[in-house]
Amino acid sequence: PEGLSQVEFRSGQTMIQSIFMMSRTGEVLIEKHWRGITPRSVCDVFWDEANRYAAKEDAPPIIYTSKYYLISVFRDDVFLIASVTAEVPPLLVIEFLHRIIDIYTEYFGSVEEQNIKDNFSTCYQLLEEMMDNGYPLTTEPNALKAMIKPPSVMGRVHSYATGKSGISDDLAEGMVSSMPWRKAGVKYAQNEIYMDIIEEVDAIVDRNGQMVSSEVTGMVQANSRLSGIPDLTMTFIDPDVIDDCSFHPCVRYNRFERDRVVSFVPPDGAFELMRYRVNTKANVSAPIYCQSQVMFNDSQNTGYGRISITVGQKPTSSLIMPSKGTMAIEEVALTIPFPKAVRTTNLTVNVGTCLYDEATKVAKWTIG
């Protein structure tokens, strides 16, 4: 009776009913249904709501209609929208939508509109394998590539010549193993793995350039080219500063909780190993400083104002350069929002370029 009640509860749950992909212009590129057909008119409702915002990425991730919840993500100039008819874990749906875009990027290089149109059949085949009756099923790239071959020129020629599709008749070996993320029989002449640590600092700086608050988040991206089934362990010099971690399924979470080490059997190829937040006791020193001065002169009722911004580099330390010194900083850009009441601007810079968007009243100073 207890097991029966659990089965009945799960069968009564409602997950994703349909998925739509829309271009930046509002064209529906992909439409896939699992648990009943969602009318395409919901895309018109979503598009009307998204057009209320100056930037498409500012559209709310969850929109409620009279019958459906529309959960969406916006990446690479396309919207991916999932329609559900009842309460579901929204972060699960959002993560699954991001995973779909990641898989499309893995297969096609990008999710540009033309790439999607050129590979319609592969897009639908991937959705068939990634979801079963509205529930996420297979989301690992290696398992999907074993079942559905990525498009290539030779693959198209072979398909036209033999009449066979790129779908495998056999179930991928990883699907019936305890490690669905890793292919079997991987061999390399030279065994190597690359790790990239990418950290992002979100900070609030006052008008004098002093740090008010800061938060550091990071991710570890890896590219594995190891033969067989390697078992790896990554240790930290100071694991106490690592907090709020999320891991790839290959990581043994119990081992991390017990020993504070990352033990895993990596997938083959590029993947994201983990995300984390740095638990710093003091504010992190930013590698650059930004000081601003705002002056208004309304003596003749002209509404004239002037803003002066100074940006410079500060000596800081890093893992590569422990001692304080000069560290190369690249791709520095400032976004300067102006009030809607501003009518005209005259912007000049002594380094880089500055572009002003009259529609959104936002200036972007690209220093380089």
DSSP 150-187: PP-HHHHHHHHHH---SB-SSPPGGGGSS-TTS-SS--
Confidence of residue 97 (pLDDT cuts 50, 70, 90): very high
Mean per-residue pLDDT of the chain = 82
Percent share of the chain, pLDDT over 70: 85
CA–CA separation, 360 and 356 (whole Å): 9
pTM, two decimals, is 0.71
Q: Dihedral of CA 259/274/326/201: which sign?
A: negative
Q: What is the pLDDT of residues 156-188, one digit of tens each?
A: 555 555 656 555 555 555 555 678 788 778 899
Q: Which long-range contacts (CB under 8 A, 24 or more apart) does 80-84 make?
A: 80/19, 80/20, 80/21, 81/19, 81/20, 81/21, 81/22, 81/42, 81/43, 81/46, 82/16, 82/18, 82/19, 83/16, 83/17, 83/18, 83/19, 83/20, 83/38, 83/42, 84/14, 84/15, 84/16, 84/17
List the single range of 34-43, 206-215, 310-319 with lowest mean pLDDT.
Answer: 310-319
| pLDDT beyond 50 at 355 | yes
CA–CA separation, 362 and 353 (whole Å): 14
71 HSE (CA, 13 A, CB side): 21
Listed residue (323, 326, 324) closest to 312, CA to CA: 326
> CB-based contacts of 71: which residues, under 8 Å, 6+ apart?
61, 62, 81, 82, 83, 84, 90, 93, 94, 97
∠ Cα 265 271 277 (to 5°): 95
Residue 11 is predicted with a pLDDT of 39
Residues 291 and 209: beta-carbon distance below 8 Å:
yes
Residue 176 is predicted with a pLDDT of 52
Listed residue (361, 362, 351, 346) closest to 310, CA to CA: 351
Region 99-125 average pLDDT: 90
Measured N-to-C along each axis, helices 90-108 and 120-130 cross at an angle, to the nearest 10 degrees, of 140
CA dihedral 25, 26, 28, 30 (to 10 degrees): 70
Confidence of residue 20 (pLDDT cuts 50, 70, 90): very high
Confidence of residue 286 (pLDDT cuts 50, 70, 90): confident
Confidence of residue 6 (pLDDT cuts 50, 70, 90): very low
List the single range of 83-92, 287-296, 300-309 with lowest mean pLDDT.
Answer: 300-309
| pLDDT beyond 60 at 315 | yes
Residue 183 is predicted with a pLDDT of 78
Confidence of residue 5 (pLDDT cuts 50, 70, 90): very low
Region 59-71 average pLDDT: 91
Residue 255 is predicted with a pLDDT of 93
18-23, strands of its sheet edge to edge: 28-33, 18-23, 78-84, 69-75, 62-64
| pLDDT beyond 60 at 262 | yes
Residue 165 is predicted with a pLDDT of 57
Confidence of residue 224 (pLDDT cuts 50, 70, 90): very high
